[in-house]
Chain A
Amino acid sequence: MTDTSLPTRSGPRINLRDAGTFFGLVLIFAVFAVLNPVFLTAPNLINILQQSSINACIALGMTFVIISGGIDLSVGPTAAVSAIVGATLMIAGVPIPLAVMGAIATGMACGLFNGSLVALAGLQPFIVTLGGLSLYRALALIFTGGNPIFGIPPEFRAAINGLVFGVPVPVIIVAIIAGILWVVLNRSPLGEYILAVGGNPEAARIAGVPVARTKITVYVLSGGLAAVAALILTGRLGAADPTMGNLWELDAIAAAAIGGASLMGGKGSVIGTLMGAVILGGLRNGLTLMNVQAFYQLLATGIIILVAMLIDRATRGRA
């Protein structure tokens, strides 16, 4: 018998699930546009993108981890450690590009640690990264004594807060990363491996996929992207705070899930995750414009996530 839950048509160029996310995005933006005239203005839209960029950056890494069948709960503390390392290097007079690389290397090292425990020691991703969450946060707090690091060089701050053709630099950074990751997922052998490992790890192994290497790679990627998000925030705030990134993992998972990533692994989309991040960012922006209290914003976020999942379930057919 054929399985009705899988697409039987040879893939249309536009992914149906992405089209669904896009429809949700348009719907939410349309509602806010009607409710508030400021919402749909160019400056506000750019503002939304700017506000969503950090979550989008984290969520893209999360998407790769989720597609591979894992989860990365440690992204927030990874970001904090990376920010601390980057800031410390900058203040010590290390050239900014080197300091940036140092921060990203720190994030990737956290990812390497997570990935090795998952792929080589065979521990469960949830537990490994839960441990990482405490561990990296502790490292950041111990190293700084709990105090933020101030005195970020103004050149770095200017670079992050600058505009290119009217678009904020963080948005451009994340857009470039997303473009690269889209190619990686859809056009590279690594993308095929990630999808195969997440879809059926044992079959992938027997087919000769380097399963351990693939898993480690996605955690390293996630750690590196957490560091990029940390650098963006450090540049915007002008300080590296060891408590940075609290609960980032949840926003990132939400964006990925809204965008169609399956926590069972094997499914997910770069474009979907971007739209998921923009949906969450737009929602917060719109509610803030309408002076809705933060408590209610949280409520709305929760409802959107659950509604998105219910629609996802219903449209996939098989219950």
Chain B
Amino acid sequence: MTPSASRLSLVGVSKSFPGIRALDNVSFDVRPGEVHGLLGENGAGKSTMLNILSAVLQATEGQIIIDGQPVTLTRPADARAAGIAMIHQELQHIPQLSVAQNLFLGRPLTRAGGLLVDRRAQERRARQILADLDPRINPRAPIHTLKVAQQQIVEIARALLDDAKIIAMDEPTSSLTPSEFESLAALIAKLAAQGKSIIYVSHKMDEVFRVCDRATILRDGRFIDTVDLEQITEDQVIAKMVGRDITHERHVTHARPEVVMQVENLSDGALIREAGFTLHKGEVLGLAGLVGSGRTELLRLIAGIDRARTGSVTLNGKPVDLRTPRSAIRAGIGLVPEERKKDGIVRERPVSSNIALPCMGRFTRFGLVRRRALHAESTALMKKMGMRPPDVSRAIGTFSGGNQQKAIIGRWLAADVDILLFDEPTRGIDVGAKSEIYDLIAQLAQSGKSIIVVSSELPEIIRLSDRVMVMREGRIAAILDADQISEDAIVANAIPKSKGPVPAPQPVEARS
């Protein structure tokens, strides 16, 4: 092997769809043993690039060269044969099957002349491969019993089983806890040391700087630059991604003294215990905590999605009926869920219909939907929120994550709720749209809405919140006032205290 030569070279790769140039003359190379970031906003062409590398899509023009040899990738099997493996954001395995069965899915080790699956040989081989990655993973365990991080390691094991030279990871950390990220980072470093080339796609700048050696930046399908991450700052990279400077505005509070919502003694009989707090008019209350500390669960109780066992929520002095989301919405509470596709949108339906769902009554006269009024109002709403293009009669599924998020927020504006609950509002949303969402949240607070924001990103929480509530193991551990908010204070309250002596402050949440 010649270490200086490139492992993978893309030369003038383009991909056109009818009416769209998704990739336009992109060239970059990846070296052996290198971790190479692939950066860009949603729609910049990262997914298209990955799809071309895994032969899900075929490039319209250009050449792909692996170890000096031009390769043609027309079917996924070609990519595998060329030594390219893909770790998808949404892990692709069959939950009920064992780790070993998943590893050998589609190409089992057989005996009796190919008639029977040789389970023992599969489990032996699986154990060998996993020993190097995470020996705690039992090859016989059904894969759904594993943690997401371990499931991901199984995917990596599958890539190694294929003897992949190039492993592409698409947003690998989107559902990992910070400590799991640390293990993944270590594993990636190890793979790189063995000479594997890693292509790492992520929205999280701190991770990219932590894990990657170099990074290629795409914008609007065009190659912008390949940068050495040792010699560039985060802000410079972001500026290249979005094509302009992102300003970090200081948070200005719009909180007013009057209490809008009072939550008392809320429990779900499982995780959430005796949650109580108040929310003021125009306030943004951050909700921090480790993954699994009950943040999402608490929001779902307040939004009437899950049933509370005890406790009450009072809004403007009136008790809220929390039995269904519908009744909570009537009272004035709306949730912007974390998993947009699953819990947020009806993808085949137009944006306008998605907006109108909670308040059809407002758009109905004599039993019929006033289409024109609905169209006009949702168009105005989406224009104001900067949806691009503001065509509300298009199916919402055709829009980017950021635009979908704006539509869900628009839904609650149309329904005129007083309280907006945001669960990870910028997950899966690119950097540019992210700051738009931040601005929106600030505007909502200014207009008198009261807001709770759950986020795993501490900088996000700190930037947005007037106060920060920290959850720990289903309880509210602390409520920090503006002058008490700091990453250290949040982290100190988020870590469970029962586990022996207090551990030294460790990075539990992503920092930037």
Structural contact, A204 and B357, CB atoms closer than 8 A: yes
Q: Which residues of B contact A3 (CB under 8 A)?
A: 347, 397-398
Known A206-B305, A206-B337, A207-B325; judge A8-B394 contact (CB<8 A).
yes
Q: For the complex, is B335 an interface residue (Cβ under 8 Å from A)? A: yes
Question: Any chain B CB within 8 A of the CB of A7?
Answer: yes
- Interface flags, A176-201, vs B, CB<8A=1, else 0: 00000001000111011101100110
Complex contact A10–B325 (CB within 8 A) = no
Q: Which residues of A contact B367 (CB under 8 A)?
A: 188-189
**When A195-B349, A204-B346 are in contact, do A1 and B43 touch as well, CB less than 8 Å?**
yes
B158 within 8 A of A: no
Min CB distance B51 to A, Å, is 8
Instruction: Check B189 for interface membership: any CB of A closer than 8 A.
Output: no
Contact with B along A1-38 (1 / 0, CB 8 A): 11110111111000000000000000000000000000
Cα-based distance from A270 to B239 in the complex (angstroms): 51
Closest to A195 in B: B349
A residues in contact with B391, CB < 8 Å: 10
Give the residues from 344 to 377 in chain B that come closer than 8 angstroms, CB to CB, to chain A: 344-350, 353-354, 356-361, 363-364, 367-369, 371
Neighbouring B residues of A145 by C-beta, 8 Å: none
Q: How far, in angstroms, from A4 to B15 measured CA to CA in the complex?
A: 15
Q: Which residue of A lies closest to B345 (CB)?
A: A203
Q: Is B310's CB within 8 Å of the partner chain A?
A: no
* Cβ contact within 8 Å between A1 and B47: yes
Main secondary structure of the interface of A (DSSP, over half): loop
Chain B 334-346: CB-based contact to A (< 8 A → 1; otherwise 0):
0101000011111
Checking B48, B357, B395, B400 against A192 with a beta-carbon cut-off of 8 angstroms, the contacting residue is B357
Assign chain B's interface to a size class: 35 or more
Q: Please indicate the chain A residues that have their CB under 8 angstroms from the CB of B371 in the complex.
A: 187
List the B side residues contacting A193 at CB < 8 Å.
357, 360
Assuming the A-B contacts A6-B397, A11-B350, A192-B353, are A203 and B344 also in contact, with contact meaning beta carbons closer than 8 angstroms in the complex? yes
Within 8 A of A (CB), among B415-448: 415
CB distance from B213 to the nearest CB of A (A): 27
Residue on B nearest A1 in the bound complex, by CB: B47
Q: Does B393 contact A (CB under 8 A)?
A: yes
- B164 cross-chain contacts in A, Cβ below 8 A: none
- Taking the complex as formed, is A205 at the interface, i.e. its CB lies under 8 A from any CB of chain B? yes
- Choose one: A4, A189, A204; the contact of B17 (CB below 8 Å): A4
A281 at the interface (CB under 8 A from B): no
> Footprint of A on B, CB under 8 Å?
17, 20, 22, 42-43, 47-48, 303, 305, 324-326, 329-330, 335, 337, 342-350, 353-354, 356-361, 363-364, 367-369, 371, 391, 393-395, 397-400, 411, 415
Q: What are 12 inter-chain pairs, A to B, with CB distance below 8 A?
A: A2-B20, A6-B347, A6-B394, A6-B397, A6-B398, A7-B398, A11-B393, A189-B361, A192-B356, A202-B342, A207-B354, A209-B357
